[in-house]
Amino acid sequence: MSDATSFNNLDLNRIPDGLRVGGADSTPLLGVHEGIGNFPGTWTGRGFNLIWRPHFQTSDHFLQLNLTSETIDFASIGGPVPNRGLGEPDIAIYAIRYLQQIHDANFPPPGGGGGLHVEPGFWLSVPGTTESLNVPSLVRAASIPHGTTILAQGMSTNQLPPVIPPASTTPFSIASGALNGFPESNISVASEFRSAPLPEGVTQELVDNPNVLLNDANTEVAGQGFEIVEAVQIQVSVNGVTTGGQAALGGIGNIPFLAPNADVANVTATFWLERVKNPSGASFLQLQYSQTVLLNFNGLSWPHVTVGTLVKSV
């Protein structure tokens, strides 16, 4: 286990007592609307946020680091959404609305002003059609108050154990793709262009690869006698594809201000929906995710990486 576990947001107290002793549920995760049918309810947890952002008149960049607390509320809209066909039969879409709220864990509400992110949106389960080579797809339609809307599409697959690869945080050239590191990435070197004071529990390993927090959470769960017995990977992006290789045709919309200042150029997100059991067979659902948004400015693509581990409480 990495030293990122010094971050106490990995504390197993995030798992409510009622879920520790609840009954087992054998319903296959992937069998319910490609996995998202398990989303409705309230999920709470902790995570980490890293963003390279512009810094007006002082430096072209600033590295912001936050340990986070998070809630996502999901709710089914109550019935199928009909999409009418002209040259092919109508389809019915299963839709879930959601509200994601992320705060700085060091400045939680109501006393703190640590609001970092608010995102209303929809998850859609779309049946296979001619356009997707008859393969079902998933869609995340998100709206962010910076003036950006995202339509990220993709698919879900069974994956056990969950495989959580590294997430890069190094900026790179828009033209060539060559990596372009900056001294702010080295937390052992003081910089006025990085969050200060450094949040307790943020390590070099975490800055280099925020996904270590997700893997460490699972290692901690295993060390307490819990076991991930089922896992579904849901991967969406604005350039998502279906299993047949057909482009899913996502997209991004930005207000004019963003184009010359911090253009949202790409979004990729992977979610791992996991059923976790204790030694007695009781189970609960865990949702982990890693999202990378690329912000383009000053000739470079700058990663904005957000990760979280959440547990479904109600």
* Cis bond upstream, residue 197 (ω within 30): yes
Could you tell me the residue ranges of all domains in the chain?
3-222+232-281+297-312
Considering the chain, what is the average pLDDT of its residues?
A: 86
Is the pLDDT assigned to residue 63 strictly greater than 80?
yes
Q: Using alpha carbons, list the distances in angstroms from residue 156 to 138, 152, 270.
A: 7, 13, 10
Tell me what the mean pLDDT of segment 170-177 comes to: 95
Tell me what the mean pLDDT of segment 223-239 comes to: 90
Q: Which of 119, 34, 33 is nearest to 72 (CA)?
A: 119
* Band of pLDDT at residue 45, cut at 50, 70 and 90: very high
Q: Which of 15, 26, 14, 37 is nearest to 234 (CA)?
A: 37
* Band of pLDDT at residue 130, cut at 50, 70 and 90: confident
* Band of pLDDT at residue 242, cut at 50, 70 and 90: low
Is the pLDDT assigned to residue 21 strictly greater than 50?
no
Tell me what the mean pLDDT of segment 129-153 comes to: 90
Q: Cα torsion at 245, 246, 248, 251 (round to 10°)? A: 100
CA distance 226 to 14: 14
Is the pLDDT assigned to residue 240 strictly greater than 80?
no
Is the pLDDT assigned to residue 9 strictly greater than 90?
no
Phi, psi of 130 (to 5 degrees): -55, -40
Interval 258-293: pLDDT, tens:
998 999 999 999 999 999 988 777 888 999 999 999
- State the pLDDT at residue 109: 63
Q: Which of 32, 291, 81, 249 is nearest to 153 (CA)?
A: 249
* Cis bond upstream, residue 161 (ω within 30): yes
Is the pLDDT assigned to residue 306 strictly greater than 60?
yes
Is the pLDDT assigned to residue 30 strictly greater than 90?
no
